[in-house]
Structure formats: structure tokens, C-alpha cells
Structure 1
Amino acid sequence: MGHDQDLGLRERKKARQHQVISDTAIALFTAHGFDRVSVAQIAAAADVSKPTLFRYFPTKEDLALHRFADHEDEPARVVTGRAGGTGPLQALRRYVLDGLGRRDPVTGLSDHPEVLAFHRLLYGTPSLVARMYGYQQRSEAALAAALGGGIEGALAAGQVVAVLRVLALENWRRVAAGESADDVYPDAVAAAELAFGRLRTGWRDGPGDAQ
């Protein structure tokens, strides 16, 4: 076996180990609660040592939130990888609508039991909510750079990331309250279209708004 093959095998083994540890941790967290499960329990259930676990996941919160880390640069990649002649907002709008159509958990529009359990864990654990803002800040910074940087890029990225967060949270709240993803879908699409319409045209003060 050549050197490249050895490296490829090691990377695949590392990826499998990473997935096993993560899946084990999330299963324990959703079954018992984040604060009631220790890192030692996760390591034992995943059949790894604590030092090995911490090589993959530096903190306990990372065990639950790495799924968000995997997606944090997606908006930036959508912008940088868009087709010629497609504007950034147009590309991001299509990304959101496609995600809603797939019932992507990132959009909040998923009623799969495991996804619902994970979202309840996330939104019901203050330390995870606080850590998630770090992922969102990195997502915003990457998107700002993709949009050209400077104050204009930062302002645009801040608005987009806020829109994605609000849309996903509203979808999750409705699904968590018992509505099916299929029932929420039309309203989710309408809300996304409204949000991107506002991003495209800007906010206008109406009668009675602050001057």
C-alpha cells in the first residue's frame, strides 16, 4: 500500500471515529439532557479514551454543535460559488428555498424525530445557545469577506445571517409545536420570499415610524 493510500485510510478512520463519537454524544444528550451526561460517559459509550475524545472535540459543547460548524461557511460558499450573472442575494435566496424544499434541518423545517430532539436539546440548553452565537459570528465574518469585505460587506452579511436565523427559528417553533413540515412549508417559503424581498429593496419607514 502506497503512502497516499495510507494517508487516505487514516483519514477515513478518523472521519468514522469522529462520527461515532458525535453520534454517541448526541444520542446520550437527547436521551438524558446535556448537563446530565459527562464526557467520561460519552467516551466510555463510544469506546475511546477521554484524551482521544478531546482530540476530536475540544469542549463538551463541540460534541453537540459540530453539525453547525460543518455548515457555518455555507452562505459564504454559496456566494463565492454562484454562477456567472447571478447576484449574491439571488444565490442565497435559491439556497434557502432549495433547503426548505429538501426539509434541510438547517432551515428548521424538519419534523424528523431525531432532528426535533436535537433542536429541543439545542434551544433548551443555555450553554449551547451561547456557544451557537460563536458559530454564527464566524459564518457572518466569512460571508462578509465573500461579499467584498469592508463595512458594506459586514452590514450585508449581518442582515443575511440574522434573516437565516429568524426564518429557521420560526420554522422550528411551529414544527416543535406539532405542525408538520409539509403544513408549514408554504408559509416558510412566503416568509423567505418576504425576507429576501426586504433585503433586496431595503427597509422603508412608513407612517408612524421613527424619523
Structure 2
Amino acid sequence: MDERIGLRERKKRRMYQDVSDTAVRLFLQKGFDAVSVAEVAAAAGISKPTLFRYFPAKEDLVLHRIADHEDEAARVAAGAASPLAALRRHFLDGLERCDPITGLNDDPDVLAFHELLYGTPALVARLYEYLERSEAALAEALGGGLDARLAAGQIVAVQRILAQENWRRIAAGERAAEVRPEAVTVAERAFGWLEAGLPRLGPSTKTQ
């Protein structure tokens, strides 16, 4: 039974990935607004109602590529003796390996995806919903309450701005290797500011 469930889950994940890849390819070729959901469904070999069972909104076809990062900050912070230190290490490690989520990646396919994402108003709006969920998950990992929500909002904002600045520079023609030293310096400084402003951040930040 467990093996059947495992196979079913793997097939479901493969379906998500295949449909998302098909959609992104079409969006990159023609533009997000020029491609209909029906066209994506036809290209993926499924019906439109089936597509909507997997992806409630057209924008989700694109954001699926970063969906696994939605609760990443929460996973990193959960149970850490110093959540902020853990998040700092995680972001710096991402810069070291050129993780696309940090914006520090000059692969042409990654650049094209970022241009599609940040250059399409509907996708930017949907991205902010994703960031709000990421922020809520991180706040919960930090103990919940107003203090945790305030801290999570600042942390998510810093990570977003750092990533966008890295992407902006690379999109302007700089190489990742050229951007990395300053990106590390700026990230260290930004997290230092967070540490100075959030000295008691930890699992017990819940407001009574």
C-alpha cells in the first residue's frame, strides 16, 4: 500500500513539473499574456479542467518552479538555537553555490525565467502572495505572535531585496563571479543589521 501511495505521489509531482515546464516554455516563447491556459493544457496533453486541478491560477504555472522555497526559511529557522544565524548561513551558502533563489546565477535559462517573473505584473502580484505565505510560515517557526511576525517580515524583506539586487546586476550584464564578493559583503552587513535590531530573536518570541 505504501509503495502504491509513493508511486502515486511521484506521478503527481511529475505531472506538476511537466505541465509547469511546458507552460514556462510557451510563456518564454510568446509572452505570459499571449498564451492561454487552454493552449498550455493542449501542449501538455491534458484537459483544461485537469490543469486547473493542479494549478488553480495561471500564475501558479510559473511560480511552481520556486514553490519548494516557500517554507524554506521556516525549515531553516525551526529548532535552531539562533534562527537568524542559521538563516544567515543558509543565504551565504546559497550565494556560494549560485542558488537561483539568491539572484546570483547567470545561467541564460535562469535569467530568462527571472525576466519573465519580474517583468510580468500578474506574476509579480502572485509572487507577493507567495512571499506573504513564506513570511507567515517563518513567523510560526519563530514562535508566533506579533514579535515573530515583525521579525519574519524584516527577514523576508531583506532576503528579497538582496536577491533582487543580485539579479538586477546580472541582468545588466555582470557575471555571477564578479557580483559574488560584493553580494556576500552586502548580505553580511544586512544580516548584521538584523541581528542588531532583533537581539532576542528566537523560538520564544511569541507575544503574550
TM norm structure 2: 0.92
State the shift of 1:31 in Å: 1.4
Other-structure match for 2:176: 181
The offset of 1:88, in angstroms, is 1.0
Distance 1:7 1:71 in 2: 24
Q: Which runs of 5+ in 1 are unaligned?
A: 204-211
Aligned-pair CA distance for 1:24: 0.4
- 1:20-35 equivalent positions in 2, closer than 5 A: 20-35=18-33
CA–CA distance in 1 between the matches of 2:79 and 2:39? 42
1:52 matched to 2:50: yes
RMSD value, Cα = 1.3
The within-5 A match list for 1:144-183 is 144-183=139-178
- For 2:16, the equivalent position in structure 1 comes to 18
Q: Which structure: larger Rg?
A: 1
Deviations 1:156-176 (CA, angstroms, capped at 9, x unpaired) = 111101100100000000000
1:37 to 35, 38, 42: 35
Asked if structure 2 preserves the Cα contact closer than 8 Å seen for 1:68 and 1:135, the reply is no
Q: Secondary structure at the match of 1:22?
A: helix
Residue 56 of structure 2: SS of its match in structure 1?
coil
Q: Which has the higher contact order (CA 8 A, sep 6+)?
A: 2
* C-alpha distance in 1 between matches for 2:177 and 2:152: 29
User: CA deviation digits over 1:61-118, x for unaligned, max 9?
Assistant: 1001122322111101101153xxx411110000100111111110011111111001
Residue 5, structure 1, aligned to residue 3, structure 2: yes
Selected match of 2:103 from 92, 108, 124: 108
Amino acid at match of 1:149: G
SS in 2 for 1:103: coil
- Equivalent residue pairs, number: 198
Name stretches of at least 5 consecutive residues in structure 2 with no aligned partner.
199-208
> Which residue number corresponds to residue 137 of structure 1?
132
Among the aligned pairs, what percent are the same residue? 67
Q: Is the 8 A contact 2:20 2:65 kept in 1?
A: no
CA distance in 2, matches of 1:189, 1:4: 44
How far residue 34 of structure 1 moved from its aligned partner, in angstroms, is: 0.4
| Structure 1 CA distance for aligned equivalents of residues 132 and 33 of structure 2 | 25
Shift of 1:40: 1.1
